[in-house]
Amino acid sequence: MRVWRERLDHPYGHQLVQLAVDGTNLVGFVCAYGAHDPQWGSLVDNLHVAHGSKRNGIGSSLMRQAGAWLAPLYPDLGIYLWVLEANFSARRFYERLGGQNAGVSTMETHGGAVVRSCRYTWPRAELLSASAA
């Protein structure tokens, strides 16, 4: 809660938070940071879709929106994100959107757990926005 309260109350200029709503229900969101890393480019830090709303195109739409926001602002930068190595369904989802697995790293979560995560990459934001259509 502390992390998200800070992100939403004091957003960075290079931060996007896009919500997906169904009526009055929040069904998903994406959070991205432009030019986050000198080597890898812009970061899709979070993509979440409510369990009951998955497989309805919400995740693809949110990723397309993030790519469309990043492309004109950071046209020469790639996009990357981290996904748990054991999360096979999310990995397949990103692969269907054109993401490439650039390798596995061991990292510590905000809660202190050590996990193995894959870095998925797209060479340019416009490719993500187009591939998710």
Cβ atoms of 7 and 31 within 8 Å: the answer is: yes
**Predicted structure pTM score:** 0.89
Q: What is the pLDDT of residues 64-87, one digit of tens each?
A: 999 999 999 999 999 999 999 999
Q: What is the pLDDT of residues 42-68, one digit of tens each?
A: 999 999 999 999 999 999 999 999 999
Q: Which CATH class is domain 2-131?
A: alpha beta
For the chain, give every domain's residue range: 2-131
Length of the chain: 133
- Residue 108: pLDDT band by 50, 70, 90 thresholds? confident
Task: Give the DSSP per-residue string, 64-96.
Answer: HHHHHHHHHHSTT--EEEEEETT-HHHHHHHHH
**DSSP 8-state assignment for residue 133:** -
